[in-house]
Structure 1
């Protein structure tokens, strides 16, 4: 169904399409270990039954309606302490792609893609493997709701639901991979400051007072940014800035 991409430099020159699978990230990792794929390979699935999200959540996806795939990357030009730059780069690429179709797109830390007033339209899950202080590979899972219109989760939405149009998945896949590759190559060229600034500019609830919860306690604060390790900085009403890792804080909005 999905063909090798002619309009990219290295992403999508090796595409593996699976009509059904449990998780493209798991399949990609298995194929890496068996040396069946290399950097730039893409595993894409027509119906992903157990797609993984942040915090161990399952990604809901109707068969044949959405884009669910994993990229194999080897970002060994990055220090492993800067691994969140990879997250920011991929999120920027996905956001830029969606901005061709929607007026406002936000990234909810760390890597959910939101349409304000509509809901969550996509998500990114990156699973990195290291050997000592060196990268072995990064499996980049991307899920985007395209033509699905009905969701069990009331906070989910899609391109079709928002625009009332039906889209060609092959064409969108081609454009999306191009946008992701452009952003990734920008990171590889050392454009780290530009990538971080773009991520922060479109960060959901940045500089807005909002409710959160941490360790069972609810509080109000303003997201001010992220630290060098990708942790979230929140300014409390007292003026103190606290830093939270992924499992240490929940959005209550």
Structure 2
């Protein structure tokens, strides 16, 4: 899985492949500091020993089974207050690519990819480097459960679990990067409203009554996301509440 991608304009023309590393995000950040990568570079590993997820969670991936990689982007056209717009574009690209293979793929705010009945299939971790002008670099880390058999992790699944067969990881990777480049270019062209609308349409639990915990357990309905990326939940008393990362839990 270390070929050059032929079906993209700039993403994947420089691929750094490793059989194992601690974290593709950490390695990509190190390569940025050492000026060893440019926009479009990808760091991909067959195995991560210290992969990270949102909230500082560990992301363990069985060697040679899944997709774990990081993209280097330079979204200088985004204001630092618009960082979530990149999350929207990347999340859409991932969910729509996976939906070509499996039905029921949803986006769980802020950055999980899941099957609506079987559980989490992957996650996204975006880390930004800011300078006085704005966003200098973004490292987009993606981990997807493809051929790993998952039985002991609650509310988690994989392509293998969902379909009972193994998949060509390189083919999925190629399609994913192509779709990601397409949506990144749309974002660069200012098509934020279009991307945001499609993101909200694919949100897990959108317009459904469910239980959440923001310090107190309550019933509410996800109605969308605020401009900065905060999750909007309408509580049973009719009030609208806006939540940032780590401020609300799904029950």
* CA distance in structure 1 between the partners assigned to 2:218 and 2:87 by the alignment: 27
The residue number in structure 2 matching 1:194 is 194
The residue number in structure 1 matching 2:159 is 159
The residue number in structure 1 matching 2:229 is 230
Cα offset, 1:94, TM superposition: 0.3
* CA distance in structure 2 between the partners assigned to 1:5 and 1:147 by the alignment: 22
1:221 aligns to 2:220 (yes or no): yes
> What secondary structure sits across from 1:28 in the alignment?
helix
* CA distance in structure 2 between the partners assigned to 1:119 and 1:82 by the alignment: 29
Check conservation: 1:95, 1:106, Cα contact below 8 A. Answer: yes
Q: Normalising to structure 2: TM-score of the pair?
A: 0.98
1:85 aligns to 2:119 (yes or no): no
Structure 1 gap segments, 5+ residues each: none
* CA distance in structure 1 between the partners assigned to 2:174 and 2:188 by the alignment: 21
* CA distance in structure 2 between the partners assigned to 1:52 and 1:181 by the alignment: 23
What is the root-mean-square deviation in Å for CA atoms of aligned residues?
1.0
The residue number in structure 2 matching 1:209 is 209
Cα offset, 1:174, TM superposition: 1.0
Check conservation: 1:80, 1:133, Cα contact below 8 A. Answer: no
- The total of aligned residue pairs comes to 251
* CA distance in structure 2 between the partners assigned to 1:130 and 1:164 by the alignment: 43
* CA distance in structure 2 between the partners assigned to 1:100 and 1:225 by the alignment: 24
> What secondary structure sits across from 2:212 in the alignment?
strand
Cα offset, 1:238, TM superposition: 0.7
Structure 2 gap segments, 5+ residues each: none
Q: Tell me the alpha carbon deviations over residues 86-114 of structure 1, each in whole angstroms, 9 at most, x when there is no partner.
A: 00000000011001101221100011001
The residue number in structure 2 matching 1:46 is 46
Distance change >3 Å, CA 151–CA 41, structure 1 → 2 = farther
The correspondence of residues 11-26 of structure 1 with structure 2, limited to 5 A, is 11-26=11-26
Q: Runs of at least 4 residues of structure 1 off by over 4 A?
A: none
* CA distance in structure 2 between the partners assigned to 1:133 and 1:218 by the alignment: 41
1:127 aligns to 2:127 (yes or no): yes
Check conservation: 1:17, 1:45, Cα contact below 8 A. Answer: yes
* CA distance in structure 1 between the partners assigned to 2:212 and 2:38 by the alignment: 40
